[in-house]
């Protein structure tokens, strides 16, 4: 569960800033470890999204570029770290039971179907 804005209090996918000199894949591994205590291996780039939030006057409040990766779990037990308020495993069939942004839920379910992870 996100501990800070944007989307504080909502469940989401680990992520964060790519540090200078770091590849996107290295950032994926580091962010998952920092936020959940788990280790993973990125196996496939799935999508790239722009996330732009504007204020009431139309000025850009923030702009993130999101690189979504399918990863293979390697080790570790989930626990909240870094800027996460909580971390836990949620089954793909139980995404509706957590407060997750609708667009994130749809993306995860679409990916799971395309990758043969859901019936």
Catalytic residues: 86
Residues ≥6 apart with Cβ < 8 Å to 36: 14, 76, 78, 79, 80, 81, 84, 87
- For residue 11, what are the β-bridge partners? 100
Helix, strand, or coil (residue 38): coil
Which has the closest alpha carbon to 110: 34, 118, 2, 41? Answer: 118
CA distance 96 to 28: 25
């Amino acid at each position: 569960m996100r501990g800070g804005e944007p989307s504080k209090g909502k469940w989401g996918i680990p992520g964060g800033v790519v540090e200078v000199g770091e590849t996107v894949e290295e950032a994926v591994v580091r962010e998952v470890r920092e936020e959940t205590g788990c280790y993973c291996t990125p196996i496939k780039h799935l999508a790239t999204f722009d996330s732009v939030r504007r204020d009431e006057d139309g000025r850009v409040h923030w702009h993130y570029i999101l690189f979504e990766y399918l990863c293979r779990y390697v080790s570790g037990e989930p626990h909240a770290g870094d800027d996460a308020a909580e971390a836990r495993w949620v089954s793909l069939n139980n995404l509706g039971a957590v407060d997750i942004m609708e667009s994130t839920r749809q993306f995860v379910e679409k990916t799971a179907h395309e990758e043969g992870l859901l019936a």
